[in-house]
Amino acid sequence: MGQTFDVAIIGGGIAGFSLAHYLGANRKVLILEQEDAFGYHATARSAAEFAFRFHTPLVGKLAALSFPFLNNPPQGFSAVQLLRERGMILIASEEKRARLDEVLATESAKTDRLRRFSRDEVLAAAPILNPDFFASAFFDPDCWDIEADALFQGFRKSASANGTVAISKARVASAERKSGYWQIDTHSGQFEAAVVVNASGAWADQTAVLFGAAPLAHAPLNRTMITVDIPVGIDWRSMPEVQEVDEDFYMKPDAGRLLLSPADENESQPCDAQPEELGVAWAMHWLSEATIIRTARPASVWAGLRTFAPDRAPVVGFDPVVEDCFWLTGQGGFGIQTSPALGELAANLIMGNGLPERFKCEAFALEEISPNRFTAG
C-alpha cells in the first residue's frame, strides 16, 4: 500500500479544494481527481455569480456565511478581487406583472435594498433589452460576479501550501476498509486514509457505492450557456445581470460578450457535459425575444452539470452506516458561491469540532444538510 493520509478527498473541484483549504495543516490530506485537470467539470462551467436572494432559505444562509470570505479573502489568497459589483434586474412581461409584484413584496419583507425600476431606468441600465418584451421590473444591487478561477486557484494554492497532495488521472477503481483505514486503489496508485470524503459532484452516487455507502439519488442536470457579441457602443462593463422573473432565462456581460442561459435542467448521466440542440435553440429564442441583438449563431456554446440531492439541499456529514465516509455533495447551482461556508463547515465536522460558532448566528441546523435526513424515520 502507498502513502497514508488522514483524509482522502475524492474529487478535485471547488468542493474538494475548499475543504482542503480549511483542513489546513491540521490533517494530512490527499485529493484524488479522475480527470486530467482539476476543476474540469462544474467548477469550470459556472455562470459565476453571487446573490443573497432568490435562493432557498438554506442556500441564502450559506451565501451569507460565505460573503465575508469572498469579499475580504485572506491576505495573499488572490491577486484580484474575488467579487465585482454587477447588480441584477428582474423583469416580467405584462402577463407576469402580478408575479413580479409578488416576488418583490416577498423579498422586500426581508430587505430594504430592492427598488422598482421604470422602463427608462431598465433601458438605461441594460440597453440591449427589447423594450416591447418587459412591462415591469425591479433592481437588486446585491449581486456580484465571482472571479471563479481566482477563487478555485486560491483554494488550490492554500491547500498545496498546507501540504495537501493532489493527484489527477486518479479514478478510484476499488476501496476496502481494513484495520481502521480505507485502502484505495486508483489508476494512479494505491493510497491509505483514515477518512474518505465524497466530493465527486455528478459522480457522487457512483463514488458512494465504491465505498459501500447507499446512493442518495443525486441528479445531474445539464444546463446550456451561449455567448454572443454585444453591439458596438454599449458599455457592457456597467450593465447588470438581467433575469426573467420565473428564471425562463438569465443574461449578463461576460468578458465583453453577453452570456445567456435558458436556465434549462435536462436529466443527464455523469459525463463531460455538452450543449444540447434544444437548449441552444431556447437560448437563441430568448435572445431574439428579449433583446435587440440579432445574430445567426452564438459566438460560443457550452454546458455544465448541476447536481442536486432529491431535496436540492447540499449533503454534508458522515454517512449514517459506513464508518469514516463523509459526504460533501449536492451543491447544485450554488457550489461556487457557497464554497467558503461549506468547506469551513465540512472541515469542522471532520475534525470533530461541530458547528462553527458563527454558523449559529444564522440559525443554521446540521439536520438540514446531514445525509441522515434521507434515512430518518
> Looking at residues 212-220, what average pLDDT do you find?
96
Q: What is the CATH number of the domain that holds 160?
A: 3.50.50.60
Show the 3-state SS of the chain.
Answer: CCCEEEEEEECCCHHHHHHHHHHHHHCCEEEECCCCCCCCCHHHHCCCEEECCCCCHHHHHHHHHHHHHHHCCCCCCCCCCCEEECCEEEEECHHHHHHHHHHHHHHHCCCCCCEECCHHHHHHHCCCECCCCCCEEEEECCEEEECHHHHHHHHHHHHHHCCCEEECCCCEEEEEEECCEEEEEECCEEEEEEEEEECCHHHHHHHHHHCCCCCCCCEEEEEEEEEEECCCCCCHHHCCEEEECCCCCEEEEECCEEEEECCCCEECCCCCCCCCHHHHHHHHHHHHHHECCCCCCCCEEEEEEEEECCCCCCEEEECCCCCCEEEEECCHHHCCCCHHHHHHHHHHHHCCCCCCHHHHCCCCCHHHCCHHHHCCC
Within-domain flag for 54: no
Q: Which of the residue ranges 53-62, 169-178, 329-338 would you say has the lowest mean pLDDT? A: 53-62
Within-domain flag for 66: no
Q: Which of 289, 308, 327 is the last residue of a domain?
A: 308
Share of the chain above pLDDT 70, in %: 98
Within-domain flag for 57: no
**Residue 136 and residue 199 in one domain:** no
**Residue 315 and residue 358 in one domain:** yes
> Looking at residues 2-15, what average pLDDT do you find?
95
**Residue 248 and residue 362 in one domain:** no
- Position 377 pLDDT exceeds 60: no
> Looking at residues 51-69, what average pLDDT do you find?
91
**Residue 42 and residue 114 in one domain:** no
**Residue 208 and residue 315 in one domain:** yes
Confidence of residue 282 (pLDDT cuts 50, 70, 90): very high
Q: Report the domain count for the chain.
A: 2
- Position 290 pLDDT exceeds 80: yes
**Residue 341 and residue 302 in one domain:** no
Q: Which domain holds residue 112?
A: 88-141+219-308
**Residue 119 and residue 228 in one domain:** yes
Q: What is the CATH number of the domain that holds 110?
A: 3.30.9.10
**Residue 231 and residue 281 in one domain:** yes
- Position 376 pLDDT exceeds 70: no
